[in-house]
Chain A
Amino acid sequence: MTRHDKSLTVELSDTAGTFSLHEICERGGCHAEFVIKLVNYGVIAPVEETTESRQWQFDLQTLARLRKAMRLQRDLKMNLPGLAMSLELLDEVQDMRRELDRLHRQLEQFMEKP
């Protein structure tokens, strides 16, 4: 059963909102222990690194990364060191793909006759 709503205009209030440790766990559907481990492995980082985890704040990108880490762990049964390395390599691959794509397009522009 599907019903459609009316379109609703939304203004962006905060593009830079942050989450506490409790909030990010709630959003990500995971335990604080898992988030702390990911921070210790350098997979994710709070906005400002403090030793007191209760004061940690995480940004939106970190939530997306946490969710990705959870999907990879769930679907591919990875342990934490493997997860940390995979995410780093995936970041690198993504950066390289973007760079390659950009360079390809630049090269095409450079080669094409005006």
Chain B
Amino acid sequence: MDFKDYYAVLGVSESASPEEIKKAYRKLARKYHPDVSKEEKADEKFKDVGEAYEVLKDPEKRAEYDQLRKYGAKGDGSFDPPPGWQSASGFGGGGYTEADARQFSDFFEEIFGGGRGAAEGFGGFGGRRQSMRMRGEDVHSRLALFLEEAYQGCDKQVSFNVQEVNDQGQLVQRRKTLNVKIPAGMKEGQHIRLKGQGAPGIGGGDAGDLFIEVEYAPHPHFTVEGQDILVTVPVTPWEAALGATITVPTVTSKVSLKVPKGSSGGRKLRLRGKGLPGKHPGDQIVVLQIVMPDRHSEKAEELYKELAEEEKQFNPRSKLHV
């Protein structure tokens, strides 16, 4: 088991005052709150910070921890509690963080116990458990879809953990896997509810629901804005100048598109109804990008010179007053 340096987690010294510890905790809790932070592993860091504060805010636990810290400082980062170690302070739960010890690390449990023991103590309801009726917990999860999947609808496998009470009355984790039919046109941030697919109820109570929030995986060519799908399509200067019918990709196939004569780079052309499907389907918006060949032939250069001569009255920088 790895030793957890709670002082390092909160970024405070061993001699930090309770006020300093509280201040550091508050700052880091805001920084790593999973609803606020986009940092990688924010969830883990938030839990670490909560766990560290749970110990260091409490003088008794802190004193015990300090003792163990001296003992546990082996240098290789590993840790074993002294034989026969038993915490005097234990884990009461609640307090400032209203911490749920089930979330804490093995290290915490080894030192202060209580956490998972309390969860398993669910069986302690004993006889009452039979008569107690409780709805199962809802489960919330996220599902990343490729744009093609969101566009066409798809079958996706979703796996998640549910908590349930086994025959011995213990609270256990069970891995559940469902095949979910995702309808076409699901948007990023949209939620799906699967009734009764969350944790099972207790004592005949209803099962909880599974809620899935949809996310999009980034696409190499397309971006999504509301119901519309945007794609940048390169055209040659002569296609832009003379107009042309070009082939452009859609999410699932390709279509012909008429580029109007005299189009500038950045011009947006709309393909009606080719955006995300739905009650009001979106459009596909094609953004033109004028590109040059890597090199021109001598003849092409001559033709450009002729063109330059012919169009010399045109100043593309007139808005810049130059």
Contacts and interface: CB of A to CB of B under 8 A. Distances in A.
Interface in B231-266: 232, 234
A54 interface: no
B221 A109 contact: yes
A102 B97 CA distance: 37
Nearest to B265: A110
B268 to A, nearest CB: 11
Contact of B213 (A17, A64, A77, A105): A64
B211 A97 contact: no
In this complex, the interface size class of chain A, counting residues with CB under 8 Å from chain B, is 35 or more
B223 A63 contact: no
Given A3-B174, A4-B175, A106 B35 contact: no
Nearest to A69: B35
Contacts of A68: 35
A37 interface: no
A114 B291 contact: yes
Contacts of B180: 9-10, 12
A90 B172 contact: no
Given A90-B35, A106-B230, A114-B291, A60 B218 contact: no
Interface of A: 1-15, 17, 26-27, 60-61, 63-64, 67-68, 71-72, 74-77, 90, 97-98, 101-102, 105-106, 109-110, 113-114
Closest 9 A/B residue pairs (Cβ): A60-B191, A109-B232, A114-B234, A9-B179, A102-B223, A1-B172, A7-B177, A68-B35, A11-B181
